[in-house]
Chain A
Amino acid sequence: MKKYSDYSIIADLLVRSLEEGLTSEEEERLSQWRKENDRHEALYKRLHSSSFWESHPQWKYREEVAEAWKRLYSRRMRKQRMVRRMYWGVAAVVAISIGTFFLWREPSIIEPVVVENETIVPGKKQAELILADGRSMVLNEAMSIRSLEEKGVVIRTEDKALQYVDKRQDEALSYNTLRVPRGGEYTILLSDGTKVYLNAESEMTYPVAFRGEAREVKLRGEAFFEVASNRVQPFIVHTEQFAIRVTGTEFNVRAYADEAPSATLAEGSIQFWKGNQMFPLHPGQQAALKNGEIEIRKVNLEDAIAWRYGVFSFKNIRLEDLLSELARWYDIEIFYQNPSLKDLHFTASFQRSSNMEEVISLLERTQKIKVNVNGKTLIVQNK
């Protein structure tokens, strides 16, 4: 069925034709395909018309994905159970014959081996979860929590995010901490439905379920919040130097120890609290703390929250700030042979999934600096 791989190439050309992203050769190839027959031309026109996007069945089917997955999963389990039952027949005979009684419980956590290597790679989904009793477990692409219960709250990982599901709503507060190392990021869905994206080298402490008058969490590092709306129980993010209070909205908080902390609002409205002073913020505004003074300014939202969408976006940024951001994501150290290099200004944007060689070759293309790699250290020199 070679046919389908040809189709796939045409699909790619069609998608990019929608965004005028075709080179002239590709343009040529697509126009050949359009000329092949009337149906092709009609399809092209249809894809380029707005009605195609207006009411597509995929819209509707997207809503049912979770339900459909549940159905599929239980079908799969039923099939498996039938196979397993045959094993149990044998196991029961063995158990009785040696006079022992087994209580079998499926392990709730799978922990395959992690392979470490020394080369520089982009950050990935990884974090450490610290439970109320101090136990901790590592979460990453390969390790997941199937189901764990704490104070009536079910904790599990789903879709590469940590999830809290409040089952009983009657217990006292119990706190967990999620710690994301350098070279990591992780998403967490709190029991109230609030989604938090934690960036590299960040840590958040939060109750497994929210009780009382406010939903309060503590943050170090950077996180993007999509707070579930709840007017009677405001959501409060505490950092060492300030607090953010909202009822339901989207915003970014950045509170790394080595730089001026800030909060940026994407949608809705938030209150920025420093001691008992309050400053309201509007979308696109950022409040930053510099030497204890609050500075409110308009920022480019796209740059401020680019990380959440898998992109680095730097506009006119000092090299030192740019590289310290990369250092957190690629888990590297930076060494400057000449301190004045730190003050060069760069503008750049690239995917967070880019590998280190790509990024270095970009930086070097400016002809201003030269970067050598030694293990996990970047050595920055004058060109």
Chain B
Amino acid sequence: MRERDIHHLFVTYYPALKSFAERLVKSSETAEDIVQDVFLRLWEKPSALEEAKANSAYLYQMVRFKAIDYLRREKFMDNAIRNYVANLAEEEEEAYLEEEVYRRMDEAIDTLPPGVRSVLTLSLKGHSAKEVAEMLDIAVETVKKQKQIARRMLRERLVKILLIFVH
């Protein structure tokens, strides 16, 4: 059961945590090692796993500790690094928010039907309705409609909404 939970957390958070770690240590290889260490820890310590399941911010915290640990331990303990670690707190909030906002949006978008999903993804990337229509070879009106549908479905997923009428 533990393996299943860990796998689920891994699939859900790996991209965000790796990107988060990379911001802190500036190396994608080290970032991956750090994320792996964090997940190994979840395997060894059931209470950590429970905490991570209940509160995803905990995973970011674990990554942060490991990252600082790494920065301290590694050879670059010169002044520049010391200053960097000291100022990390300011960047941390931003790093966490950027990764987590992206991840949550991405997760919600992922649950949309394929058609509306591609319209929305292209729109988020800044393409106009006309450009999207050309890229997907559909009518501009369709793009607009699909965008509306996508936004509505997305809102429904972000906040669980229930609606009903009768006639």
Contact = CB atoms under 8 A, between A and B. Distances in A.
Contact of A365 (B126, B159, B164): B164
Interface residues of A, number: 72
Interface string B154-166: 1110111011111
Interface in B13-72: 14-16, 18-19, 22, 32, 35-36, 39-40, 43, 55-58, 60-61
A365 B162 CA distance: 12
Contact of A8 (B43, B56, B162): B56
Contacts of A305: 113
B84 interface: no
B108 to A, nearest CB: 8
Given A305-B113, A349-B163, A362-B162, A11 B43 contact: no
Contacts of B144: none
Contacts of B93: 3, 7
B116 interface: yes
B104 interface: yes
A25 to B, nearest CB: 14
Contacts of A142: 1
Nearest to B10: A69
Interface in A336-365: 344-351, 354, 358, 362-363, 365
A62 B61 CA distance: 21
B125 A11 contact: no
Candidate in B101, B114, B149, B160 with the most chain A CB atoms within 10 angstroms: B101
B104 A76 contact: no
Contacts of B32: 68
Interface residues of B, number: 63
A346 B163 CA distance: 11
B165 A8 contact: no
Contact of A58 (B15, B97, B154): B15
A363 B166 CA distance: 9
Given A5-B57, A21-B159, A75-B40, A266 B97 contact: no
Interface of A: 1, 3-5, 7-8, 10-12, 14-16, 18-21, 39, 43, 46-47, 50-54, 56-62, 65, 68-69, 71-72, 75-76, 79, 112, 142, 144, 159, 250, 266-267, 283, 301-302, 305, 308-311, 316, 344-351, 354, 358, 362-363, 365-368
Contacts of B155: 19-21
Nearest to B55: A5
B94 interface: yes
A39 B111 contact: no
A308 B149 CA distance: 16
A61 to B, nearest CB: 4
A15 B113 contact: no
Contacts of B162: 349-350, 354, 358, 362
A367 B165 CA distance: 10
A351 B40 CA distance: 34
26 contacts: A4-B55, A7-B97, A8-B100, A15-B101, A21-B159, A39-B94, A47-B97, A53-B102, A53-B124, A58-B103, A65-B15, A69-B14, A76-B43, A144-B4, A267-B115, A301-B115, A302-B113, A302-B149, A302-B153, A311-B153, A311-B156, A346-B164, A347-B164, A348-B165, A350-B162, A354-B160
Nearest to B123: A50
Nearest to A362: B164
B19 A57 contact: yes
A74 to B, nearest CB: 11
B67 to A, nearest CB: 14
A4 B102 CA distance: 17
A14 B40 contact: no
